[in-house]
Chains A and B, each alone.
Chain A
Amino acid sequence: MSDEIILLDFWSSPFAMRVRIALAEKGIEYEAREEDLSNKSSLLLKMNPVHKQIPVLIHKGRPVCESLIIVQYIDEVWSHKSPLLPSHPYHRANARFWADFVDKKIYPIGKLVWGATGEVQEAAKKELIESMKVLEGELGDNPYFGGESFGFTDVALIPFYTWFYSLETCGDFSIIANCPNLVAWAKRCMQRESVSKSLPDQYKVYCFLMELKKKFEAK
């Protein structure tokens, strides 16, 4: 079928979750194909030869790679419903800036909080709390980063809510104590079906990440 949409997916990937959320927001039907990341499919290798990573959205036989690029693509093709990026160029730039901040800060630093130990983990924990406070500052009194409506930055960040249990347990700190507004925002997002159906259980993610951590420590 020429209009067929396939998502090369992995259940615990925050990047794949972004795409699932965007597709759900737009009410788009698609086929999700779960990849075995230790044994990548020939389709994945063919569709993303440069990075060999999920998520990959395949639309009309053509691949779109990199989660934030995929979300923008979805927003531009299915522009008539639930816009994720605002219409004013300045607000769009702002939304892109903060989504990029999630990639530059929350993801790599978060990884060190659940994945590292000792001094490296301690330093990462401090930086993560600081970065989350910066995000809280940006959110302000708004219900969403998109203002009144759920938008691009919200989509970029909310998948990392699945890491909260792992971050708190490994880092031995409380996110709600440090960033109550951010937790309130996350719970608000989880009330949206597009989000709650796209995010796996936090404890399940914790078990998965700890398995991953063991594998890296063994190497």
Chain B
Amino acid sequence: MAESNVKVLGTWASPFVMRVKIALHLKSVRYEDVEEDLLAPKSELLLKSNPVYKKIPVFFHAHNPICESLIILQYIDEVWTTSASTILPSDPYERSQSRFWAAYVDDKFFPALRRLVIGATEEDKKAALAEVVEGTVVLEGAFGELSKGKAFFGGDNIGFVDIALGSLLGWIEVIGKQCETKLVSEAKTPRLVQWADCFSAHEAVKDVLPDVDKLADFGLKLRAKILKALAPTN
């Protein structure tokens, strides 16, 4: 039975929603999964619980809504402290490093990925692809620094950065297939390739990552919706 008053408003396809679910699985917290249809108009619940951005995920705990995936992750980490799994490290310097790299994923890497999908011209897409590949190389370096020879950015177990980046793996694969390139390649980022396999197989992750073909199909529909919204109106 779900722990009373723990709810995730989201969708199976969203990497940001996946982050929240992975965190809850890590902490062994059971929750109610409320699906928002991204292809339909936004629900009353979404508009009411996230009036500022009107976006998923929204996390509910004891009727309080919390928005923004990385903020939700920190909340989960701070509330469910008896669990053996911690999401952020305890040392303040290591915490700052984890926050830095998660912010890099959201502020630099993800926007480049997005530009690769919705880029208007071939030139835009080429530039975005170069940025994405450069980003993976930077993240490969970060992995070396943070993992200290262990399997994950978080060390022996998955942590904040693993969840932030790992949640994008499904989309990275779908977008890569579309561009006919392996975005996380053995040649440039061998450690990330290995990390991706370990992450995807993790107990807290494997049931949350979506089927890649299902995601690709959904991706086409979502892309059409986004491009339609961005198109200039006559």
Contact = CB atoms under 8 A, between A and B. Distances in A.
Nearest to B93: A62
A216 interface: no
A88 B154 CA distance: 25
Given A66-B100, A69-B100, A97 B67 contact: yes
A93 B64 CA distance: 11
A134 B61 CA distance: 24
Interface in A169-216: none
B52 A93 contact: no
Q: Report, as a range, how many residues of chain A touch the other chain.
A: 20 to 34
Interface residues of B, number: 21
Most buried by A among B64, B72, B79, B93: B93
Contact of B75 (A69, A93, A134): A93
B71 A69 contact: no
A66 B75 CA distance: 20
A218 interface: no
Nearest to B142: A50
Given A77-B92, A134-B52, A90 B64 contact: yes
A92 B74 contact: yes
B68 A73 contact: no
Interface in A70-108: 70, 72-73, 76-77, 89-90, 92-93, 96-97, 100-101
A96 B74 contact: yes
B93 A89 contact: no
Contact of A70 (B64, B72, B78, B96): B96
12 contacts: A59-B93, A64-B96, A64-B100, A69-B103, A72-B95, A72-B96, A89-B78, A90-B64, A90-B66, A93-B74, A96-B74, A97-B68
Interface of A: 50, 59, 62, 64-66, 69-70, 72-73, 76-77, 89-90, 92-93, 96-97, 100-101, 134
